[in-house]
Every structure is written in structure tokens, then in C-alpha cells.
A and B are shown apart, each in its own frame.
Chain A
Amino acid sequence: MLKYIIRRLAMLIPVLLGVSLITFSLIHLIPGDPARSMLGEKASQQQLELLREEMGLNDPFIVQYGRFLGHIAQGDLGTSIQKKEDIASQLMEKLPATMELAIFAMILAVIIGVLAGVVAAIKQYSWFDNLSMTGALFGVSLPIFWLGLMMIWLFSVKFNILPPSGRLTAGVELNSITNFYLLDSILTGNWTAFKDAFSHLLMPGVALATIPMAIIARMTRSSMLEVMRQDYIRTANAKGLKKGLVVFQHALKNAFLPVLTVIGLQFGLLMGGAVLTETIFSWPGVGRYVYLAVLGRDYPIVQSAILVIAVIFVLVNLLTDLLYKYIDPRIKYN
């Protein structure tokens, strides 16, 4: 197992190098002068020259890329152009907000998606199967930014029961330890803050969960249908085992493998989908940070944030592969 992990980590190196090369090259795709593009038309020649010097744009490409890699290796993701802030610390500050949202959305998606998929499979062609699969089809076709806006209109404007934006109502105190607000409020026993943070999380969480929920439900259903036809399931049923035991212990355990792959892939996509969701709900996470940087043409932020998200994506997928072993002991890593 350890050997396998080491080999997989070694295989990550070329992928991560490629990822860094692409993110680095982005800035060189800017038509015309990148410095002019970042500072705008009104910038003086002197300002432009200063920025070029600062960003090392005057050096050959390979030298620039080498320096970029060197800085990353030291955990230095550069400074933003407009506010001159350290990007790494900005990202560290905003990452918990995005992770909290993504994890919450994923938990929602897995619980509802897997349950719906299992029930739809054991009651194939029932009204529940039809309803949930139609729902899943709608889910993958819905523009989540539109869904988010409609939820704000319904629950914040019309009924006024959920807050439309942010993570916490102004005035609600919370000592942050991890910057995961739900976790912090539990750790400090602050239930007022917990309720408030939860009500803020609900709408963006549901919006973000829609697509993965739909995909997980469809995957679980088809995977369960396949497993339920196997001989050992018939044997288990013939032995007179309780239906619940057969479904969840015998069938789901084996049907879960392809579902797990989808969960891993979707988690990475959630980080991308967060840009839209965070923008709509003014959620102070990495997605909104990227969006604002794109609007302000602050390319170093765009580069670094995308690099960090891609690395997380790759690591999550590796983690999913490793989790396989625990779910399916038949898999041997040699």
C-alpha cells in the first residue's frame, strides 16, 4: 500500500508540473502587453516599466517559469497587483469558506443522491423511480446561477426566511479557530452563531449541491441495478436475510465503487462551480476572490488561485483512488 501511495505521488509530479506550466502560460496568452492590460490605458510608461520589472516580464519565458516554480516551492504565490496583498495568505484566509461550502454541498449531495438512487433502483419503474430520475435530469440541466437567484427571490425577498448573502449576520459574534464557521460555533458552544451560519450556508449549499446530487443519484441507481442482479444478492435474499441488510450491506457496498469515483470528480468540480455560487451569494471564498480578480485584471491572483484549486482537485482524486482499498478489499496495489 505504502509503495502504491509513493508511486502515485511520484506520478503526480509531471501532472503538477504541467498544471503549473499551463497556469503560468496563461499570462502570456494575453493579447498585446500584459502590463498594459493589468494597469489600464491610463498607465504611464514609467508605471508599465515598473510592473514589468516587478513581475519579471522582461526576462526570457523559461527564466520566468523557473522563478515562478521556485517561488511556489517556497509557498510564495506572489502579491496582488491592485492591493499589493500577499496572495498565499489571502487564499489561506478564503479557502476555509469555500471548503465549508463545498463540503456542506457534498454531504447534502451524497446523502440525498445515494438514498434516492438506492430507492429508485430497488423500486425500478415505480413512481419514485420516475420522479427521482426526472428530478435528476432536471438537476443536471439547471443553470445553478439561475437557481441561486430564484432561491434568493423566493426565500429572501418574498418570504424573508433566509439571508441572501454572506456567511454571518453583522453583529453575531464568533471566535474563529478554524475559519469553518459551523465547526467554530460548535467548538465554542455558540449556538446563536451556529444557527446563523447554518441559515447562511443553506441556499448556496443547495444550489451548489444540485448537479452532483443529480449525477450521484443516477450513478447510484445504475450501479445498484447492476449489482442487484448478481447471484450473491439472490443467495442473500434466498437465505431470508432482511431486505435492508441485503440492500445496504451486500449491494450498496459493492455498488458504491463507481459512485465514489463520481464523488471524487464532482468535489473538484464543486470548487469550480463555487465561482458562480459564491458570486451570487456574496460568499467570501476563493471563487468570489477569483471572480473579482478576473474583473480587476489582477492576473497573479487568477494564476495562483487556479493553481491551488487544481492541486486540490488532483489530490482529492488521488485520495478517492486510495479510498477504494477500504471499500473494495479485492483491489490489490502492486
Chain B
Amino acid sequence: MAFQPEPVQEPASMLAPEKQAMKARKMWVDSLLRIMKSKTSFIGLLIIALLLITALFAPLIASHDPAAQSIVDRYQPPSGKHILGTDELGRDIFSRIVYGTRISIQIGLIAVGISLIIGVLLGGIAGYFGRWIDQVIMRIIDIMMAFPSILLAIALVAVLGPSLRNAMIAVGIVGIPQFARIVRGAVLSVKETEYIEAARAIGAKDGRILGQHVLPNCLAPIIVQATLSIGTAILDAAGLSFLGLGAQPPSPEWGAMLSDGRAALQTAPWVITFPGIAIFLVVLGFNLFGDGLRDALDPRLKQ
């Protein structure tokens, strides 16, 4: 999925710096406008914005203390007092879901951050330097991809010990290969362009060329992958928590809430209904927005 920069009239290197910056900004503004025009990606953006607002103002939005237990109120169905009902310890499910947004954002950012930083580094180095370095790195990536990702994550958490932190690390590690492959592909196509040759001709060092010229021009596919990966990371981490390998009780992490509510499936189905819907909506939001970004940033896919 190589990203081709929009054709410019004159070589970028001949433009004044401020003009260059303007051109770059215009490309991003154009892309953003294109995203806003698409109904689906706008819905995605809306969901993400809602998620961020909820996380930021959680104490104002939540109707109860998410940790407050009340045995007399356990397993209350949704009502005026508890709009989404209560769980086995009488805690307010709505408030727990509201506070859970913070954990989801944390998981998404940290796990994808790990995949992104390591993946971009490995892919960038492999693509830029080629030869044996490329061979070694890509064979390691191949081996990592020989494992079904959720299984590798389960195995990693199994040995590291179950906790939210280890679940984020595990989900982050299994996401590395995708970034590495995408970045390598993008770097391979960018490094053959004339402006890279020009940079080399004026004596720029490899590190500078890679960091200042090559990687910034591979940003589009990286951003698309990162957006789509946040959804997957939240889903995988919720799965780990559901299995008891991620966030531990009494954390209001959504997967852990589902795990807690499983025992009462027959009598109090609302305990598992709403955290599941929350996971679904957030993952949907990132998928919608990611798809929109891809269409907007990759002109070849434009219909």
C-alpha cells in the first residue's frame, strides 16, 4: 500500500520552505475535507469524539461512583435510578462504562504506540538499508506472523502474568509485523524517488534521510494503519480481559465487566449487554474512521 504524494509542478526541493509547508498543509486539509464529506467516516469521527469527551469528563457524566458497592441494589434492571442497571456488587453499570472509556483509550494508545514505534523502526530500517538487514528483519517478522495474533498475545500474557499492563504489551507486540510490513513497502517506493537521491547528493547522512525525508513521506499509510489498529487493539485487549488475562477486577474495563457478568447471564442479561455494546461502538468508530482515512489519503482508491 504505497502512498504516492500528489504531483507537484516543480520539484519540492526548489520551493521555498514556507511554500513547501503550505503545500503539505493543503494536502492534509484536503484529505480532512474528503473525510468529512463521507458519511460513514464522519460517523466514525463522531463516535471517537464522543469517546474522548466521555473519557475527559467522566466524573461529570457518570451518575454514580463506579466503584461504589451496594449489596441491596445488586442485579437491578435498568431503571430511572440506574439507567443501565447494576451488577453483582450493586455497582452502577452506566458509570462503570463511562469510566471504562479511559481504560479503552489508554489501551488503544499504548498498545498501538508499542506496535507503531517498533514496527516503523524495523520496517524503516529493513526497507531503507535492504540487503542482509532487510532479510534478517523480515524473516523475524515472518516468524511472528506464523502465530495467530490473539494466540500469541494469550501466550505472552500467560507467561508475563495477567494484568492490564501486560495485556497492552502483548497486544502491542503482536501488532508489530503489520506496521513493519507496511512501512517497509512504503519506504521501498519512496527511497527510489528523486528527492531522496537529491538529499543523498548534498551529503545528508542515512539517519537524517530516513528520519527527515523518507518516513514523513510514508506517514499516510502509517496513520491509516494506526487508526485501524486502535480498534483491533481495544477488541483484543477486551478479549484478554474477558479471559481473565487483562484488566483485573474491580477495574471497569469493558472486557472484564463482561467476564464478571457471565455468571448472571440467565438472570441479569443487562450486565453483559451494555459493556459489549460499548466495545462494539468504539471499535466500529475507529474502523469507520480508519476506512475513511484510507480512502482520503490514498487517491488510487478514489472511485
Q: Is the CB of B245 within 8 A of A294?
A: yes
Q: Is A310 in the interface zone, CB < 8 Å from B?
A: yes
Instruction: Choose, from A14-22, A49-57, A178-186, A250-258, the stretch at the interface.
Output: A14-22
Q: Is the CB of B154 within 8 A of A275?
A: yes
Q: Is B147 in the interface zone, CB < 8 Å from A?
A: yes
Distance in Å from the Cβ of B157 to the closest Cβ of chain A?
8
Q: Is B266 in the interface zone, CB < 8 Å from A?
A: yes
Given A157-B266, A269-B148, A313-B148, decide whether A29 and B160 contact each other with a Cβ distance below 8 A.
yes
Residues of A within 8 A of B287 (CB): 137, 140-141
Q: Is the CB of A141 within 8 A of B158?
A: no
> Chain A interface secondary structure, helix, strand, loop or mixed?
helix
Given A306-B147, A309-B151, decide whether A27 and B159 contact each other with a Cβ distance below 8 A.
yes
Chain B 236-258, CB-CB to A under 8 Å as 1, else 0, gives 00110011110000000001001
Distance in Å from the Cβ of B202 to the closest Cβ of chain A?
40
Residues of A within 8 A of B283 (CB): 141-143
Instruction: Choose, from A60-68, A144-152, A189-197, the stretch at the interface.
Output: A144-152
Q: Is B235 in the interface zone, CB < 8 Å from A?
A: yes
Count of interface residues, chain A, beta-carbon cutoff 8 Å: 45
Q: Is the CB of B243 within 8 A of A291?
A: yes
Residues of A within 8 A of B265 (CB): 149, 152-153, 157
Residues of B within 8 A of A30 (CB): 159-160
A285 to B104, CA, bound (A): 31
A22 to B144, CA, bound (A): 9
Instruction: How many A-B residue pairs have C-beta atoms within 8 angstroms? Tell me.
Output: 136
> Chain B interface secondary structure, helix, strand, loop or mixed?
helix
Distance in Å from the Cβ of B72 to the closest Cβ of chain A?
25
A47 to B5, CA, bound (A): 64
A19's nearest neighbour on chain B, judged by CB, is: B146
A290 to B147, CA, bound (A): 14
Q: Is B155 in the interface zone, CB < 8 Å from A?
A: yes
A15 to B138, CA, bound (A): 11
Given A140-B287, A152-B265, A157-B266, decide whether A276 and B242 contact each other with a Cβ distance below 8 A.
yes
Q: Is the CB of B147 within 8 A of A313?
A: yes
Q: Is the CB of A299 within 8 A of B159?
A: yes
A35 to B147, CA, bound (A): 26
Chain A 310-331, CB-CB to B under 8 Å as 1, else 0, gives 1001100000000000000000
Distance in Å from the Cβ of A142 to the closest Cβ of chain B?
6
Residues of A within 8 A of B255 (CB): 143, 145
The 5 closest A-B pairs by CB, nearest first: A272-B148, A146-B276, A18-B143, A272-B151, A141-B284
What residues make up the interface of A, taking CB atoms closer than 8 Å to B? Answer: 14-15, 18-19, 22-23, 26-27, 29-31, 137-138, 140-143, 145-147, 149-150, 152-153, 157, 268-269, 271-273, 275-276, 279, 290-291, 294-295, 297, 299, 302, 306, 309-310, 313-314
Given contacts A29-B160, A142-B283, A157-B266, 20 further A-B contacts (CB under 8 A): A15-B142, A15-B143, A19-B146, A22-B143, A23-B155, A26-B158, A30-B159, A143-B276, A145-B242, A146-B275, A153-B269, A157-B269, A272-B149, A276-B243, A290-B151, A294-B155, A294-B243, A306-B151, A306-B152, A309-B151
Listed by A's residue number, 17 A-B pairs whose Cβ atoms lie within 8 Å are A14-B139, A15-B142, A18-B143, A22-B143, A29-B156, A137-B288, A143-B242, A143-B276, A143-B279, A149-B262, A153-B269, A269-B149, A272-B148, A272-B149, A272-B150, A310-B151, A313-B148
What residues make up the interface of B, taking CB atoms closer than 8 Å to A? Answer: 40, 139-140, 142-144, 146-152, 154-161, 231, 235, 238-239, 242-245, 255, 258, 262, 265-266, 269, 272-273, 275-276, 279-280, 283-284, 287-288, 291
